[in-house]
Structure 1
Amino acid sequence: MEQDPFRRNILKTFDYLHSHPELSWEEKNTTDYIRMHLEKAGCIVRTFSDCTGVIGDFGNFNGDHPKIAFRADMDALWQEVNGISQPNHSCGHDAHMTIMLGVLWKLAENPELKDKIAVRFIFQPAEEVGSGALAMVERGVIETIDYLFGVHLRPKAETPNGFATPAILHGATWTVEFDILGEDAHGARPHLTKNAIDIGTHIVTALYTIHLDPTVPYSVKVTKFQAGGFSTNIIPGQASLAIDLRAQTNELMEVLRVKVYGTLQAAEQLFDTEIAITNDYGIVAAKVHPDAEKIAHKAIAKTLGVKKTNPPLLTPGGDDFHFYTIKKPTIKATMIGLGCDLEPGLHHPDMTFDKEAIFNGIDIFTEITRTIYDI
């Protein structure tokens, strides 16, 4: 039996996006591809001269009705796949983009809706490096927006296939990178230098002594430690380390960052050495608006059924989507978690999922539009 044109187009679009992954801030081909489809569907399109990403406005943005936005992330990860290092869509961004294009095509099937609705499709770059949402905020893409909805595929252990959650309660994530600065010395003369490996090892151990409120999930650990070189008879005076911080709330993350900086300052004093911070960046925890969550819950229940509507999902992962709500506190936002039989896990180079879930996502976001505009 021949597939209907809409279904065939969706699968073709996903296959194209999946087979053309691009890294953060390099999504030029993806931007052009999405822009083409937005223009064909009748959107007013905006691109940017200084970065990737594309925005498409569908409907009447001059009326007094609510203005809503749907956001999809565009970038891929750099991974080794079958022995070859390459860009790879192992986080589902190819599916997210396909879902949003599918919603646009569903809405465009009814031209009479254009005067009644105002939907902005935000195809955002650089989510994987945590800076794309901030770039879009700086370019004013949410200034006139009242509601904002995002989506993310969920591992099967979190959300079963055919189910969805109206909110993903991501935690805050942060990275502190630093260098231990000193001079090398001969392996026979350890008194002539301060061994950067000793200093780094002390920092690793000292981080284990950080104890915060145990009722709020958090973690802190070293995820990079580079010191020494080819010659093993040299005591390294320099090292580069990175610390990964996680906290379920933004408030606890601030406390955790203070503790980490205190640990580094104490190590400087103890070893009489210099530690230079080279990077300090991160992603905020989720701030979900109850009105947006309620609308998402209603849409999921109507499309998938009440029994397949899960409660909000608490997860230690992060997403820069939540910068939109931090930068514009009045916006009503939530991110929907979509069950899709995803395994072995997000960011695994061999990640797979059930593509049928894409159609569930399209139906949910189409229903969100109908719910907000009562159409």
Structure 2
Amino acid sequence: MKDIIRQLKTELWEIFDHLHRHPEISWEEWQTTEFVRQELEREGYRVRTFADCPGVVAEIGTGPFTVGVRSDMDALWQEVDGVWQPNHACGHDAHMTVVLGVAKLLRRIGYEPSGTLRFLFQPAEEKGTGALKMIEKGAADGLAFLYGVHLRPVQEVKSGYAAPAILHGAAQCIEGRIHGVAAHAARPHLGVNVIEVGSAIVQELGKIHIDPQVPASIKMTKFHAGEKDANTIPDYAEFALDLRAQTNEAMERLIEGLRHVINGVAAIYGADIELMERARIVAAHPDPDAVRLMEEAIITTLGAEKCVPPVVTSGGEDFHFYSFKKPELKTTMLGLGCDLHPGLHHPKMTFRREDLLSGVEILARVVMNTFVTFAPRGESERASVAANH
């Protein structure tokens, strides 16, 4: 297998360079969709795209037992060297390269799955809504296992190492509006100052307490009130809140506490406060069978000493919606070390490209071992030879 991967190396670097040079932001990944479609059709996959949204679903093989591999596609909108532009600072160009590499590798070694092998290239991960759209489109229907991959910053996983799971936390963005009463600044008793209301909200957020054993935070990240006049008490404000919790249960407790805070502050100040829940990301809940298979693939590829424990991170990932919406689906994400620095979402993020080849081998091995281990008896026999290639 390693020899075939080395033969693929030049082709994969060309794929990465193309994707890196042509980033597209969430829900606008149309050229990326077309590029991925062409690459997969060239390898003989049955490919499906959608008229109303970007995204690609590709399959090979037949049979009810279905294993999937997912990549995200979108870039961030960032200022790079003084210019605002799409930018792959979260590694999605690398993820696509790895997953396309898996698709190509399995074809080059003549692998025939004992069931159906499905690849998902998903839009809008950065918006937290792309996985939900793919679920809506039926891309996860019938899946027994689904694997993902995400580059890890050097602070979490070193180059040459990998983790069999990424324990992302839950995240919730909430926007709010405060309606008060305008007044002359010389007569504050006649008004309801929305800035004072916002300040009270910030103070009370610090009094929301949940289980201290579970990492969690809630903070105001945006506030706007008032216009040009400095002698007028403003009667309208907009704000945003960012909520993080390591478990979905902790997130529910945070939201419950927030509602109590908002109701209490509104009553004290006589203000009207609206909350609008925006994008939400659920916490990771990796399946033990999937994690075990990923761990075995890492050990076979890199060695036991290079397999690190599951990574706990406060970041969010909409990959986890697949198992959240379909509890029977077994999932995990490969955490791939690659000397990524200075960090994810930094406009000048970079990493060691050679580590992508390890990602290709690990994911290919976990796919083949999943079919051998979990496909119905009798159907997995023809895949076992390729799994040990």
Question: Normalising TM by the smaller chain, what interval?
Answer: over 0.9
- Paired position in structure 2 for 1:354: 352
Q: What is the correspondence of 1:326-337 to structure 2 with a 5 Å cutoff? A: 326-337=324-335
Total equivalences in the alignment: 369
Q: Tell me which amino acid in the other structure corresponds to 1:135.
A: K
- Paired position in structure 1 for 2:378: none
- Paired position in structure 2 for 1:370: 368
Secondary structure at 1:146 match in 2: strand
- Once the two structures are TM-superposed, the CA of residue 191 in structure 1 deviates from its matched residue by 2.7
Secondary structure at 1:244 match in 2: strand
- Paired position in structure 2 for 1:99: 98
CA distance in 1, matches of 2:114, 2:274: 55
Secondary structure at 2:112 match in 1: helix
CA distance in 2, matches of 1:98, 1:137: 23
Moved over 4 A (4+): none
Q: What is the correspondence of 1:1-375 to structure 2 with a 5 Å cutoff? A: 6-58=8-60, 60-61=61-62, 63=63, 66-111=65-110, 113-114=111-112, 116=114, 118-372=116-370, 373=372, 374=384, 375=387
Contact 2:66 2:144 in 1 (8 A): yes
State the identity as a percent: 48
CA distance in 1, matches of 2:290, 2:139: 19
Secondary structure at 2:333 match in 1: strand
Q: Deviations over 1:238-287 (max 9, x none)?
A: 11111111111111111111001111111111111111223343111111
CA distance in 2, matches of 1:21, 1:229: 37
Structure 1: which 5+ residue stretches go unaligned? none
Q: Deviations over 1:205-242 (max 9, x none)?
A: 10011111111111111111111223323322111111
CA distance in 2, matches of 1:119, 1:51: 23
CA distance in 2, matches of 1:283, 1:335: 15
Q: Deviations over 1:153-177 (max 9, x none)?
A: 0010100111000001111111111
Contact 2:180 2:270 in 1 (8 A): no
Q: Tell me which amino acid in the other structure corresponds to 2:271.
A: T
Q: Tell me which amino acid in the other structure corresponds to 1:276.
A: E
User: Taking structure 1 as the reference length, what is the TM-score of the superposition?
Assistant: 0.95
355-364 or 294-303: which moved more?
A: 355-364
CA distance in 2, matches of 1:42, 1:114: 12
Q: For the structure 1 residues 129 and 83, does the alpha-carbon distance in structure 2 shift closer, same or farther, using more than 3 Å as the test?
A: same
CA distance in 1, matches of 2:97, 2:151: 12
- Once the two structures are TM-superposed, the CA of residue 190 in structure 1 deviates from its matched residue by 2.2
Q: Deviations over 1:26-73 (max 9, x none)?
A: 111111111111111111111112211111112x12x25x31100000
Contact 2:95 2:150 in 1 (8 A): yes
Q: Tell me which amino acid in the other structure corresponds to 1:152.
A: H
Contact 2:221 2:242 in 1 (8 A): yes
CA distance in 2, matches of 1:261, 1:167: 33
Structure 2: which 5+ residue stretches go unaligned? 373-383
CA distance in 1, matches of 2:212, 2:108: 52
- Once the two structures are TM-superposed, the CA of residue 7 in structure 1 deviates from its matched residue by 1.1
CA distance in 2, matches of 1:351, 1:340: 12
CA distance in 1, matches of 2:168, 2:231: 46
Q: CA RMSD in A?
A: 1.5
76-85 or 185-194: which moved more?
A: 185-194
- Once the two structures are TM-superposed, the CA of residue 115 in structure 1 deviates from its matched residue by 5.7
CA distance in 2, matches of 1:118, 1:34: 19
